[in-house]
Structure 1
Amino acid sequence: MDIKKSLVLLFSSYGCFLFGQETAIDTVYVFDNQMSKVKLFHKVNTLRPEDMQKNSTNLSELLRFQSQVYIKENGRGAVSSPSFRGMTAQQTAFVWNGININSQFLGQADVNNIPALGYDRLEVKSGSVGVVYGSGAIGGTVHLNNSLAFNKGLQASLFSEAASFGTYNNLVKASFSDRKFSFKLSGNYSVSENDYAVEESRNYINRNGEYANTNLNFAAAYKITPHHQVSWISEFFNGTQHFPVFFDSQTKTKYETQNVRSLLVWDWNTSKLNNVFRAAYTEENFQYFDNISHPKSSGGTGKNYILKNDFNYFLNPKWNLNIIGEFQVNKGEGYMSGIKNVSRDVGSLAGLLRYFATGDLRFEAGIKKDFVEGYRTPILLSFSGNWNVATWYNLNLNAAKNFRYPSYNDLYWQPGGNIGLKPEAAYQFDMKNQFTIAGVKLMLTPYYIRTKDMITWLPSSMGYYSPVNTSKVRSYGLESQLEYEKKYGRHLLRANLGYSYTKSVNLETDKQMRYVPLHKFFGNIDYRYSFLKVYVQGTFNGLTYTDSEEKRSEAIQPYFVMNTGISGTFLKNYTIGGKVNNIFNEIYETMAYYPLPKRNYSVYLNINF
């Protein structure tokens, strides 16, 4: 086992570094090495493959039922955007194995154009980690992580699901590893006619709602020497979304996207030093068809070339110095959008100092300077402290300054782009209080975020929309979470319940921000006995305004949706299961005028070879 992983294990267990001690277990290599450090100072919700399979339809459904993120979805499988702590989708960063993958054009990610299956872990983090993950990581981050195991031999698995509305999900994985080499390959294909109907909501039929997604992942790692390892991971995604229309007489439209992500990593580890060098290439291609029978009417191609170095030096068991340098070249070209061969150089230098006084107290201080071509950027600061006050009480404090620079659409879209925009800036603070009594963990986290120069698209005097730095936003609230796990003989009970209160106000109008519910609840309860598993999950959303004037007549009404599932494992390697979604036939929307399905069903088979 390499020394870095030994240190991470000890780091996580005791809150300090103890040199020269290793644990004789198989190494698991994680491409995003910063996540292990983030977890020491921030609450991170981790979803495993078995959690992801509960909501395998798409990533929107997965985040809606298993995290505190609010998801705004234009119908099942269509355009979808997230919101953390009252912030916008552009202020949410999606991070693929340590690399920010938000679109250079939109400044955000379409949640339904990211596969829900195929990752080894999905991690959700509320609040800023901008010193580590860069521009846009203000409201929160969603991490799509893969890992490689060594000394596991040959393994393979197949997941196949059939569901309502002509929906099929298939995932196949294969891996091989020995003491020095590890390899993994996975492929995911999801397709749906998606022709559901909700008669109670204006006789809605999800016309032209079909979609199809194909995703391929490849990863490999090789230990050159005891102190040096090289690894490579690549992902290829191809998606087609048909956008719903309200009447058969309307012209049908669709959207196609092709994404490529590739990351090469060189790890150098000694007892005191760890250096991770990354070279990455990401590419986004998209085409919009304003008539599905005609050629594309608009589109674009974005290419990002990324070099990143992450240097860790362990001064002694109490002090750790982390320096992160990054340089990117972002290129973009649009079709019928006015964006012609634009390019932007982006660099950053960050330093983090971590101190571990005892096993009960630790803190981290960070500073970062970004260099964005054409912009003056602020110096970013962060501070995190974690204190085990008592055996039953843990206190965690976080304060940060972050920013987001404008996207290509904000700057160059024609007509409307505004090259005079300033970057957004945000200041935030949160305080996590964790109580542990009789195996029950209760976390209460009040938070406060103040944002200035928020970029908003508004009607102009010329009759079209244009972005301006207009809004100052204050967001505050409370996130709470309860976790419980109890194992007794062949019985296992696990519960994860969360509630969030979010007050996000545009200070120019003193009104709640659009599509920010005041109240959200989510919960998952799992029970296992021997070969049998049962789960129930639910989400509640409070009143959600869809306009900037808080008109209750236009608001999305509160709703509660519950799902359940059951599965059985036979002969150790064969699992058969079924799910019922929206048990109570709730009529609900997350985006005005686009209701989501009523009660629907699925059955699946999982085989491990």
Structure 2
Amino acid sequence: MRHLFLALLFCCVFMFSNAQKPSDSIHKLDEVVLSDVKLKRYSNGYKVTVLNDSVIRKNGNSLTDLLRFNTNIYFKENGYGMVSSPSFRGTNASQTAVVWNGININSQLNGQVDFNLLSTSNYNNVTIRNGGGSVQYGSGAIGGSIHLANTLNFDKHSDHNIRLDYGSYDTKRASYNASFSNEKLAINVGAAYLDSDNDYKILGTDRKNENGAFKNLDLNFNLGYLVSNKDILKLYYQSFYSDRAFSSTLLAPSNSKYETEDYRAMVEWRHLHKTYTSTLKVAYLSEIFKYFENRELDNYSKGRATTYLIKHRFEKHLNEAITFNVITDYAYINAEGNSFDDPTRNAFSATAIFSHALNDKLNYNLNIRKDIISDFESPFVASADFRYQLLSFYALKLNASKNFRVPTFNDLYWNPGGNLDLKPEESYQIDLGHQFNFKNSEVKFNAFYIKTSNLIQWRPNAETGYWNPVNVANSSQYGLELEATVRKQLNENHKFLLSSSYAYTIANDDDKDQSLFYVPKHKINTSLAYDFKALQCFYQHLINGEVQIIGGDLRGYNVANLGVDYRLNNNGKLKYTLGLRVNNIYNKYYENVALRPMPNRNYNLNLNLNF
């Protein structure tokens, strides 16, 4: 399979080098800087939130921090910097899809993405799409999807950014990003390193966070080449290395650690015609882990999953109002490790998307998908969404879908305990949204309902003495979400930006008639940014309601951060900014997961150089 993958990679490059001669369609190339075209064009009926560069820079250490303080997503974090998993509209971590430049990167081993193993430094934007998306993004997109994008800009430029941070608990961070382009070639490169002792004080005690040190290295390289006015070649590469201890709890010490290596590479060829677009992607994904029960010994368990993916999208413009898409992909996946007998999986899927703009006010999308997977039966899924611009400032949005999540390699093949008789999780959801856009403000209001069957849970087996995954549960989630953004500029010197969001979520285990664990009923985010000439200030506040845990409730909390940036030099080629950030400014004790206290008040000093 590896030789076939390399051969296809070579064929892609060969086709680019022999691409067609230039034509008059160059005006379309402004669209190809986005890797995930489906997200831009076929989400009209969905709530979509884009976090831009300025927001990302305020939460630069981890994707967890960025999303926790700027979205409605709740994160269950086993101590700061440790394993971090999301709850999106009351669903679990395996029911949230993470999409890297158009490719689903959820782990083939456990179905999740650890959000502390994704750096924000090397992405141009992060986009959150609420609602079921399994038709377009595959397994796991039940509660929503999170999109990480590296955009390529072909406007001639040469930009460099260096950021240096030092903070509490001997936390050190350094990153470098560069972007180059001319009329034919665009290149982005990035490197980010983070290292912390993470030995914060546990408030109310004389103890510190023990065995919590971590260090991460993230490397990125992205290239785009305009072969002709019709053809573009793009290459994406990312590698992430992590060496992380696992923190002790209040009751149990720990001396374990976890090492990971993640590699992602993709070649994309896009051919544009007046009436159609053809996009071919060939991707390689690898995830490797080593778990040390005792970090001082060289004994460890290990695992690896490798994915080879071929994906093609054909987009046909039938006329100015109607577009038809056919997406096919094939993936070969294999795993190896101490707890596996080298399982493999062949997966093929076919997707059709019909998009119709009835007029300037009303458009809709219809989507269907079928997966054929070698080791179990998968469901047929479908979705529909529409957007109606009732007034110049008001749009009504509606989407409904059937979604799914496939059993992972851990679920099926873990030895001992795997269950080959598992069925995929199936889910139905509906989402009604209202969007108001005024001159200096925007308001989004959504109501949603999700019903899921065949939930996969690991439970103890009295006969074998092992834990086994079984299809035992049905769940329902429903709630309301409100987002508001207000921009105000008093004059050339005074600029304000206020954004706030509120989520009300009810998540129930229908079989047991009880609330699902670690889903807050109430979650509120508020941030205020103020710019005055060379001075920039921001304040973030998070209110998280109580959550149900085994044996009771975990108390809610509120925590706030404050930051100040000052541009020391804003003239000439070299520009540099000095910043100070204070996290948990009110020095609140709180637990995100039971018996795992989060950091007390802490500080971060940073220097940004742009040239």
TM-score (norm 2): 0.92
**Equivalent runs, 1:45-444 vs 2, <5 Å:** 45-200=49-204, 204-246=207-249, 250=253, 252-335=255-338, 337=339, 339-437=340-438, 439-444=440-445
Out of 560, 573, 579, which is 2:581 matched to? Answer: 579
Which stretch shows the higher mean deviation, 38-47 or 111-120? 38-47
Instruction: Work out whether residues 203 and 600 of structure 2, in 8 Å CA contact, stay in contact via their aligned partners in 1.
Output: no
Structure 1 residue 34 corresponds to structure 2 residue 38: yes
Which stretch shows the higher mean deviation, 390-399 or 210-219? 390-399
**Equivalent runs, 1:480-491 vs 2, <5 Å:** 480-487=482-489, 488-491=491-494
**Matches of 1:237 and 1:423, distance apart in 2:** 30
What displacement does 1:437 show? 4.7
Equivalent in the alignment of 1:14: none
Instruction: Work out whether residues 289 and 295 of structure 1, in 8 Å CA contact, stay in contact via their aligned partners in 2.
Output: yes
Instruction: Work out whether residues 453 and 475 of structure 2, in 8 Å CA contact, stay in contact via their aligned partners in 1.
Output: yes
What displacement does 1:24 show? 11
Equivalent in the alignment of 1:475: 477
What displacement does 1:154 show? 1.9
- Where 1:71 maps in the other structure, the secondary structure is strand
Q: State the one-letter code of the partner of 1:135.
A: S
Equivalent in the alignment of 1:606: 608
Q: State the one-letter code of the partner of 2:378.
A: T
Out of 506, 514, 518, which is 1:511 matched to? Answer: 514
What displacement does 1:439 show? 3.0
Out of 527, 531, 536, which is 2:534 matched to? Answer: 531
Instruction: Work out whether residues 64 and 71 of structure 1, in 8 Å CA contact, stay in contact via their aligned partners in 2.
Output: yes
Q: State the one-letter code of the partner of 1:300.
A: G
**Matches of 1:110 and 1:246, distance apart in 2:** 19
Equivalent in the alignment of 1:561: 559
What displacement does 1:522 show? 0.9
**Matches of 1:281 and 1:513, distance apart in 2:** 36
Unaligned stretches of 5+ residues in structure 1: 1-19
What displacement does 1:166 show? 0.8
Question: Structure 1 pair 26/568, CA: closer, same or farther in 2 (3 Å)?
Answer: farther
What displacement does 1:182 show? 1.0
Equivalent in the alignment of 2:17: none
Question: Structure 1 pair 28/351, CA: closer, same or farther in 2 (3 Å)?
Answer: closer
What displacement does 1:165 show? 0.8
Q: What's the C-alpha RMSD, in Å, of the aligned pairs?
A: 1.8
Give the percent of matched residue pairs that are identical in Structure 1 and Structure 2: 34
**Matches of 2:456 and 2:322, distance apart in 1:** 40
Instruction: Work out whether residues 459 and 466 of structure 1, in 8 Å CA contact, stay in contact via their aligned partners in 2.
Output: yes
Q: State the one-letter code of the partner of 1:52.
A: I
> Which whole-Å deviations, capped at 9, do the CAs of 1:224-274 have from their partners, x for residues lacking one?
110011110100110011001248994511000001000100010012111
- Where 2:596 maps in the other structure, the secondary structure is coil
Question: Structure 1 pair 260/431, CA: closer, same or farther in 2 (3 Å)?
Answer: same
What displacement does 1:68 show? 0.9
- Where 2:176 maps in the other structure, the secondary structure is strand
TM-score (norm 1): 0.93
What displacement does 1:74 show? 0.6
- Where 1:147 maps in the other structure, the secondary structure is coil
Q: State the one-letter code of the partner of 2:202.
A: V
Equivalent in the alignment of 1:465: 467
Q: State the one-letter code of the partner of 2:485.
A: E
Which stretch shows the higher mean deviation, 436-445 or 271-280? 436-445
Q: State the one-letter code of the partner of 1:483.
A: T
What displacement does 1:23 show? 6.8
Instruction: Work out whether residues 446 and 478 of structure 1, in 8 Å CA contact, stay in contact via their aligned partners in 2.
Output: yes
Question: Structure 1 pair 331/316, CA: closer, same or farther in 2 (3 Å)?
Answer: same
Unaligned stretches of 5+ residues in structure 2: 1-23
- Where 1:590 maps in the other structure, the secondary structure is strand
Which stretch shows the higher mean deviation, 583-592 or 278-287? 583-592
**Matches of 2:186 and 2:25, distance apart in 1:** 24
Which stretch shows the higher mean deviation, 280-289 or 125-134? 125-134
Equivalent in the alignment of 2:4: none
Aligned residues: 582
- Where 1:545 maps in the other structure, the secondary structure is strand
What displacement does 1:33 show? 2.2
What displacement does 1:575 show? 1.1
**Matches of 2:290 and 2:428, distance apart in 1:** 36
> Which whole-Å deviations, capped at 9, do the CAs of 1:378-397 have from their partners, x for residues lacking one?
21110000001112321000
Question: Structure 1 pair 277/23, CA: closer, same or farther in 2 (3 Å)?
Answer: closer
Equivalent in the alignment of 1:15: none
Q: State the one-letter code of the partner of 1:269.
A: L
**Matches of 1:45 and 1:393, distance apart in 2:** 17
- Where 1:148 maps in the other structure, the secondary structure is coil
Equivalent in the alignment of 2:8: none
**Matches of 2:566 and 2:28, distance apart in 1:** 33
